[in-house]
Amino acid sequence: MEKRIYLDNSATTPVRPEVLEAIYPFLKELGGNPSSRHKEGRLVKAAFEKARDSVATAINAESKEVIFTSCATEGNNTVLKGYLSGLRSRTGKNHIITTAVEHPSVLSTARELEKKGTEVTFLPVDKFGRLNLDMLRSSIKENTGLISVMMVNNETGNIYPVKEIAKIAAEKGVLFHIDAVQAIGKIPVDVKDIGCDFLTLTAHKFYGLKGSGALYVKWGKWASPLITGGHQERNRRAGTENVVGAVGLGKAIELAVKEQSEESARLKKLRDHLEKRILEEVPYTRVVGDPGGRASFISNISFRFVEGEAILLKLDYDGIAVSTGSACSSGNLEPSHVISAMKVDPEEAHSSIRFSLGRSTTAEDIDYTVERVKETISQLRSFSPVYDKFLLENEKKSAWRV
């Protein structure tokens, strides 16, 4: 493959060498079933449980509070569906609160629950993507069972005040779920410090394997499983264990947390440089997101007058991988629900590009990217009818002023 600059680390990350090394024995010879009683089983079980310990340590949980899943989407479904059906039947609580900027795995699931009779409040955000905690507090009702808010937004990098939300939830006796997918390895994630009841994560966002995730459930808060069958995972998630995925997740999260502060600082510098140059050198651009609180590896920039997919394809041709919105909504022609929720006007919503930096990103990558972005945007604007109209209107305005 020719030299590529991969700036789509929010969509997924490649497997890092240490993870490959950790899983290799389980691909090469250790093929037992962790539930088996014989030596082949016990060897694998030991590694599997060690991986669970690593996940627990990384988020300051206890091992028995960690359930391996096939991905964060499954984890989010488990909390929203499994939890709710359990809670509803026990307590009658049938209202959940979430936000308009959640990942589809929460949002669509909440919408599905809504269709089936659950009451759902989707909290709006302001133009920076920020939540209003007073609004959150006042939307809690007698029958509110669960609040689900993400920790870091996957499109803007916005950081949500989960600790404050946890406090509100606790005061009101409401359970609190966090989608921490984009937070692991980016900002500290400590379930005890935050005080949440559920937390989901997925390995492939921090150099583990796709198809492997974990769900933290505070001890005592378990409700009912999404996937039933065998006795795996203390009856909380049936199915033969994804050993390779879990061992990889254990190693990946251990390294992600260890390297977090240094790597975040490094990426912040690169990200800030990227934004500074683009904002200075490409007119009619702006950063979409919360200037006061974003994780340091994402930059969502809108390039007025041109459409995102066209930018993406041109940069791809130049060897640079970026995205418009989230990968799992590609194929969707609507502008991103996250950007739309921020009351960005539709034309601008179609014009935004997410740059997400990662371990491979260098300063040279950023400078090369800026050069290609400049060229691409000016090319695309050269035949944009929207830009043309804008220029004409500006001319008129100046003419008047003269």
Partner 1 sequence: MNYTEKVMDHFMHPRNVGKLEKYNAVGEVGNASCGDIIKLYVLIDSDNIIQDISFQTFGCGAAIATSSMTTEMVKGKHIDEALNVTKDQVAEELGGLPANKMHCSNLAADALHKAISDYKAKNGIK
Ligand X SMILES: Cc1ncc(COP(=O)(O)O)c(C=O)c1O
Which of the following is catalytic: 279, 328, 363, 392?
A: 328
Binding residues for ligand X restricted to 124-153, rule: CB under 6 A: 150
Stretch 308-327: interaction string toward partner 1, x if CB under 8 A: xxx--xx--x----------
Least Cα distance to 123 among 103, 148, 97, 104 occurs for 97
Rg (CA), the chain: 23
Binding residues for partner 1 restricted to 31-60, rule: CB under 8 A: 37, 42, 45
At residue 185, φ and ψ (nearest 5 deg) are 80, -5
Residue 100 CB, shortest distance to ligand X, in Å, is 14
Query: Are the beta carbons of 366 and 316 closer than 8 angstroms?
Result: no
Nearer to partner 1, 198 or 305 (CB): 305
Least Cα distance to 354 among 339, 372, 333, 375 occurs for 339
Least Cα distance to 78 among 53, 113, 51 occurs for 113
Nearer to partner 1, 362 or 382 (CB): 382
Nearer to a copy of itself, 75 or 145 (CB): 75
- Please give the C-alpha separations between residue 137 and each of 164, 167, 321, 373, in angstroms, as whole numbers: 11, 10, 40, 42
Query: Which residues, in sequence order, are CB contacts of 77 under 8 Å at separation 6+?
Result: 105, 109, 226
Nearer to ligand X, 179 or 365 (CB): 179
63 binds, among ligand X, a copy of itself, partner 1, none (CB under 5 to 8 A by kind): none
150 binds, among partner 1, a copy of itself, ligand X, none (CB under 5 to 8 A by kind): ligand X
Query: Are the beta carbons of 182 and 150 closer than 8 angstroms?
Result: yes
Say whether residue 22 binds ligand X (CB under 6 A).
no
The residue within the footprint of ligand X, chosen from 51, 55, 59, 72 (CB under 6 A), is 72
Residue 68 CB, shortest distance to partner 1, in Å, is 17
Stretch that binds partner 1, among 124-132, 142-150, 161-169, 386-394 (CB under 8 A): 386-394
Active site residues: 328
